[in-house]
Copies of this chain bind each other. A is one copy, B any other.
Amino acid sequence: MPKVSPRTLSGFMELLPAQQQKMERMMQVLRESYALYGFTPLDTPIIESAEVLLAKGGGETEKQIYRFTKGDSDLALRFDLTVPLAKYVAGHYSELAFPFRRYQIGKVYRGERAQRGRFREFYQADIDVIGDGKLDILNEAEIPAIIYNTFTKLGITRFKIRVNNRKLLNGFYAMNGMSEKAGEIMRTVDKLDKIGAEKVRQLLIDEVKMLPCKAENVLDFMAICGTNAEVIEALERYRGMDPTFDEGLEELIAVTKYLRDFGVPEENFAVDLTIARGLDYYTGTVYETVMTDHPEIGSVCSGGRYDNLAEYYTDKQLPGVGISIGLTRLFYVLNEQGLLSDDLVTAPCDALVLPMTEDMSFAVSAATALRNAGIRTQLYGEKKKFKAKMSYADKIQVPFAVLIGEDEVNEGVLSVKDMQTGEQVKLSPSEAAKHISEKIAALNAGAVIKE
């Protein structure tokens, strides 16, 4: 029979078992961390009506979208988790309690040009808090606390949450009479990290056509940095010149104050006036998160405050604040950089029971006893030579092999072999369960990411 090549599409991640285990652990950390902050899990369809999904319309997104017809329905695959959230909240408005806090970890689709590290199917892991009409600033302070907690649990310690406030920026441009050029200025300022202040100054003067003194103002403003107290002190000098700026400053003061109460260390947090995160969607606090030793990865967790989640579906004013982790890309990069810990168990099981006798009844009971003790146990029933069995144990990298021959059956014991140390001990089934459980707990005590 002619065979079809069992290929996977380019741009679609498909992991081998050990890698998949690492991915599952990352997802589990995210689920637990999000739930700890009172976010409820949500699951929405991957397919939506194209009219609903593209209500906002236009832009790069529409070109990348997977859109097709089935029968006479015009359908599309979701390209983010924000539009489905907007649809959900607008559609179920009367059944939800506000603020509505949800997390969603799900696949989204974008038909981007396939290239290394770019995916067409990828997981996003989002949290959002949606208010009904209003939403307190406290929520904007809580977001960095959630990022801090989540990243710490993942095992990352050297990271920085960079925070800005769009009202500060808009107010600053307004007080300088540069509001119309704000977009152009921000795109130029965005190059500070790459080309430095001098070249940005030249671009502002030559291309954005700013007066040198105005360009200087912009660079002075963007250069503000230091501890939270120092940044706020520097920003206080601009107070009273523009109401939007003052509002942004009050918000920033509130956010940094609550951050202390939330227990986020200053070393993981920095006000950074250069970040803007998209021009029209965000309206208040905005966030980016960078891994200190890997700035080349870019922001691994971004988001911000917006005023109107679902304006395409409802007249209800639904402000919110949220962040998103591009999980598939983050996993890919961490993996490439060798930052995913190999200490944690990635085998399909903790213990592999290897019966050496024809009748496997005792081995079955032994496997059942281990499972009843919560140990992930595989029972190997294949009729193979001892060497082949041990080679299988090696290949799946199982921490423990449990050997059961005639002697073990007669004595009612298990020979438990630690596959890492080679040490082998004869134990009763309950002793074996205790022995294995303790070692597995120790192996899994570390974090998913190892800096």
Contacts and interface: CB of A to CB of B under 8 A. Distances in A.
B16 A43 contact: no
Given A91-B7, A135-B382, A24 B41 contact: yes
A74 to B, nearest CB: 11
A92 B18 CA distance: 13
Interface in A312-352: 312-315, 347-349, 352
Given A12-B45, A348-B101, A87 B131 contact: no
A357 to B, nearest CB: 12
Interface stretch (A64-72, A173-181, A294-302, A436-444): A64-72
B262 A47 contact: no
Contacts of A47: 9, 12, 66, 109, 120-121
Interface in A3-43: 3-9, 12-17, 20-21, 23-24, 35-43
A142 B379 contact: yes
A311 B73 CA distance: 35
Contact of A45 (B9, B55, B382): B9
This chain: copies in complex: 2
A361 B375 CA distance: 43
A47 to B, nearest CB: 6
A378 B37 CA distance: 6
A150 to B, nearest CB: 12
B6 A90 contact: yes
Contact of A261 (B109, B365, B392): B365
A234 interface: no
A88 to B, nearest CB: 7
A256 B87 CA distance: 52
Contact of A17 (B86, B96, B378): B96
Contact-residue size bin, chain A (C-beta under 8 Å from the other chain): 35 or more
Contacts of A360: 138, 258, 261
Contacts of A380: 99
Interface in A88-119: 88, 90-92, 95-99, 101-102, 107, 109, 111
A111 B131 CA distance: 36
Contacts of A135: 382
A14 B44 contact: yes
Given A4-B51, A6-B313, A37-B371, 19 more contacts: A4-B55, A8-B44, A9-B48, A12-B47, A20-B41, A20-B43, A21-B41, A37-B376, A38-B349, A40-B348, A46-B46, A46-B107, A47-B109, A68-B68, A97-B392, A136-B382, A137-B381, A258-B360, A261-B368
List the 9 closest A-B pairs by CB distance, nearest first: A38-B378, A138-B381, A68-B68, A38-B349, A40-B348, A261-B364, A136-B381, A6-B91, A6-B313
